Each structure stands twice: as structure tokens, then as C-alpha cells.
Amino acid sequence: RKEVEQDPGPFNVPEGATVAFNCTYSNSASQSFFWYRQDCRKEPKLLMSVYSSGNEDGRFTAQLNRASQYISLLIRDSKLSDSATYLCVVNFGDNTGKLIFGQGTTLQVKP
Amino acid sequence: GAVVSQHPSWVICKSGTSVKIECRSLDFQATTMFWYRQFPKQSLMLMATSNEGSKATYEQGVEKDKFLINHASLTLSTLTVTSAHPEDSSFYICSASPPAAYEQYFGPGTRLTVT
């Protein structure tokens, strides 16, 4: 079983649509959770951290369910520029600072 | 956010040669940096943790004698791919976390092609 699982997609949505990505993780000791965005042939960029209480940043909302070991990302009013791969990331659950990456979910927003 | 640079951004080398990649934290000090490798259509795989002033910690399956890591200062870590082979061709990315932060910030990556 993969440590961080995501549906690879691709998700093809029209501009303005709302799209949701889900992720599950296997290590119950993980304490830090993130969504990163990666454009083709570029490095990952931090989109947002994910907290138990849920957090929102503009059109983006992230949720964490520790009991189910489940993380979600909701994107509202999709823009063409949102097209990218979204990586679900969790830490190792120790003090090493190491992160585990999901394989990513590809989003393609079409006009 | 914090800024991490990486050099070179791309390199082509011949089989059997060595390539050095530099990773710098530009606006913060990093006692720990991380090196990843990413093959096409795959996710990032952690290769090693670079520790300032001490030996790097390698992930299982990563040859420490092939991928030499040096973290000589609080802002610079280097990865040297020794005796490179075509199967070492990949996208190498470093990252670092500012003090007291859990998130990592990535360098722009180095695309290595071994011919």
C-alpha cells in the first residue's frame, strides 16, 4: 500500500467549475500536511498547509480528517492557470523533517 | 516564502563523468536540506537528508558512494553524481525548511541528461 495515495486523474473541468481532490495517508504518526502545486517540468511550490480545523486561501479550501487519515483540496471557480499537478504531502511523523509525496493529481482546466 | 536556488538548471554529460549540483538557501539558514529525484510522470522520491556539518542520511536503495552530499555551510548543500550513467538521467530537486517551519521550499531543480 502506498504511503500517500491520490487519484492521478486527469481531471478535465471547464473554467469556473468547482473541483475536489482527495488523498489518504497510511502513517497515523504524521503531523504535518500540505498541498503543493507542480507545473510541468518545474519544482513543486507550496500551495497551502492543511490544518485539522480546515483552512481557506481565496478559492482554495483544504480539509484534514485525522480519524480517517484523509486530506482534501477544493478549488472553486477554476481558472485556466490552475491547470497543474497537485501533490498531497505528509511528513514522516518523526523529527527528521522528511516529507512523503503522493503521486499527484493532474488538473486540466479548459476554456 | 523562503527562496532556494539550485545550479545548474540543466546539464548534459557523458557517461562516466561526475556532475555537481548546488543548492542554496538565499534568505534563511538551513541546517537540513533534502535531495529528491523525479522521473517522468512519477512523484518526487527522497534520496537523502543533508545535514550541515555532519554526514548525510541516505534513503534505502540510494548509493551513498554514487551520490555524494556535502553540506559545508548553513546555506549550501551539494550533490555530486559520480560516474554518471544514462539511468541517472532525471530531475534532481533540493529543498529546505526555514527555522521552526515544517513546510519545505524547493529549488528550481536540475535536469540531468547522461549520454
Residues of B with CB under 8 A from a CB of A: 1, 32, 34, 42-46, 49, 57, 91, 93, 97, 102-109, 111
Whether the bond between A14 and the residue before it is cis, its omega within 30 degrees of 0, is: no
For residue A31, list chain B residues with Cβ-Cβ distance below 8 A: 102
* Chain B interface, best mutation among A43, A64, A95, by max B CB count within 10 A: A43
Find all residues with CB under 8 Å of B88, minimum gap 6, and list them: B81, B112, B114
For residue A102, list chain B residues with Cβ-Cβ distance below 8 A: 43
Mean confidence (pLDDT) of chain B: 94
pLDDT digits (tens, 9 = 90+) for A41-77: 899 999 999 988 889 999 999 999 999 999 999 999 9
A1 pLDDT above the threshold of 70: no
Sequential pLDDT tens for chain B (115 residues): 689 999 999 999 999 999 999 999 999 999 899 999 999 888 899 999 998 888 999 999 999 999 999 998 999 999 999 999 999 999 999 999 888 888 899 999 999 999 9
pLDDT at site B96: 94
Q: How confident is the model at residue A94 (pLDDT cuts 50, 70, 90)?
A: confident
A2 pLDDT above the threshold of 70: no
- For chain B, what is the radius of gyration of the CA atoms? 13
Mean confidence (pLDDT) of chain A: 94
Number of CB pairs < 8 Å for A and B? 48
